[in-house]
Amino acid sequence: MSDVLVETMAEQRVRDAYARIAAADRPEVWIALVPEADALAAARVVDARVAAGADLPLAGLTLAVKDNIDVAGMLTTAGCPSYATSPAGRPGPAPVTAPAVERLVAAGAVLLGKTNLDQFATGLVGTRSPFGAVRHATLPDRVSGGSSSGSAVAVALGIADIGLGTDTAGSGRVPAAFGGIVGIKTTVGLVPTSGVIPACRTYDVVTTFTRDLALGVLATRLMVGTDPTDPSGRPWPADVRLGLRAAPVVAVPRPDDLLPLSPTWRAAFAAAVASVRATGASTVEVDVSPMLEAARLLYDGAIVAERYEAVGAFLDTAPPDADPTVAAIIAAGRDVAAHAYVADRATLAAAAARTEEILAGADLLLLPTTTEHPTIAAVQADPVAINRRLGTYTNFVNMLDLAAVAVPAGTVDGGPFGVTVLARAFDDQLALDLSARLLRESVGSVVEAGVDVLVVGAHLRGQPLHPELEALGARFVASVRTSAAYRLVALDTVPRKPGLVRTGSGSPIAGEVWRMSAGALGSFLAALPAPMSLGRAELEDGSWVVGFGCTAEAGAAGVDVTDAGGWVAALARGIDAPAG
């Protein structure tokens, strides 16, 4: 028997990652790398668990974590080394791993290390760090974007499969746009932020970077869920929408709202809008200027007090490695009056209500992710004004309680161009579905809960009542057939509908399974007209789902169309008895 060990999947993937780290020679990406031997040992554990039958959806995939997120046994510097050693900061290795990281590792991801960032997650450029400015993955004279700079570049370079960032003002979206990768920023509160050094704790979100949308959706789904250590957590509502309708309405900004873009960037955005329409969506121009105005409150108003609350006391000790731009921004929150903070929160609440008015009738909003792609030299010469411009279309999103997905949308001026699909709070899946259509990908659901419902008649795609399902956010699962225990009868209703009757002997009936949230199903049932009913229905594979039925009286009076095999086929051939 050979003594040579055969490398298994996770182990080989980790070896490849460390080879890419060496080949890339980008030390500024990392603040702390896990020793290769330790990462390989973790990979072998993953491989052993898979061999033993464990279901690990991320088995062997590599993970890079922004260094303001805790990993047990590692320092958390937030881009400021003295913060991890000073009594005024958070000295010493983290005692526990943040839930967001722990959930990915439990699913089989292997941690490679902690990544560089704009200090204290304050910046959109990736240059505000004593560990060095993080250069763009393929255009080294340009910024990588921040503050989640290292995680985004690790993914863009093909080193990490998943990069974790945080996003308060766009830190999980701007680097994605510059890197030509996907950035998913959920509704605030869905992913636990315990174990994260706050930037503005009310608005912080742990985000993902991936090279494809499907993996980002999977990683995000695994991270979502309340945690007892995070009092700000929010669960999915009972009536959460699980799918985007086939022909959604997408709001886009007026030409006046795009003036911060250069002509070439405006042309790139126009092409992205055309791509949205090519998916079957319609677009409507809206005035987004109230949203852009609300963004000013993050830095120019009293909300900056939250940044001071997070790390201001430490910066007051004048640590020698503090970035002066970051220190000045955070210091501005020191003397904010409580009444001013309350007033600005009230202003934000009014802006959120105005946003809902602006988006009335639209499912989603499409925006450019950012305004330009500056060089590192330009940012160093003007560190505040350029950074401010980069956040034009991102700063307001978390404050107005919107979800966002940043996706690649071509190239402009020699580099990647990106757009962001925005959705109302908890409509994350709708933004993901449109993003998937733009990228021509197939993605799963970010929401694990749901009830499968069988439809066999007027709620099928293309039939008159199908919009009722779409309005409730139902998500298509599969085309199916029932078991052979059913008859299908045409009922005397308007519009014409069939009834599914279980008789014990019949034929398989064609239908569709749609997944709905529990709240949506309740609304659906409450509005169900006589003689229809919902109950359990058996599928051809022996599984049972919620399905349409009808009263015994209506079934007995209906026209039997079982031999057609389904409602659409019955309609195509004609039904003898017309609806009354």
The contacts of residue 442 (CB under 8 Å, 6+ apart) are: 214, 436
The residue behind tokens 């409450």 is 526
Nearest Cα to Cα of residue 564 among 463, 468, 488, 471:
488
Tokens of 33: 């790398």
HSE on the CB side for 319, CA within 13 Å? 24
Q: H-helix or E-strand containing 378?
A: helix 376-381
Q: Which of 129, 148, 171, 517 is catalytic?
A: 171
d(CA 118, CA 172): 12
185 is catalytic: no
Q: What are residue 80's phi and psi, to 5 degrees?
A: -140, 100
Q: What are residue 87's phi and psi, to 5 degrees?
A: -60, -25
d(CA 124, CA 472): 37
Identify the three-state secondary structure at position 45.
helix
Is residue 258 within 8 A of residue 367, CB to CB? The reply is: no
Is residue 174 within 8 A of residue 146, CB to CB? The reply is: yes
147 is catalytic: yes
d(CA 205, CA 394): 13
Q: Which of 129, 147, 151, 483 is catalytic?
A: 147
d(CA 330, CA 333): 6
Is residue 92 within 8 A of residue 84, CB to CB? The reply is: yes
Is residue 79 within 8 A of residue 68, CB to CB? The reply is: yes
d(CA 122, CA 548): 53
Tokens of 54: 């464990």
505 is catalytic: no
Identify the three-state secondary structure at position 116.
coil
Please give the positions annotated as active site.
Answer: 66, 147, 171
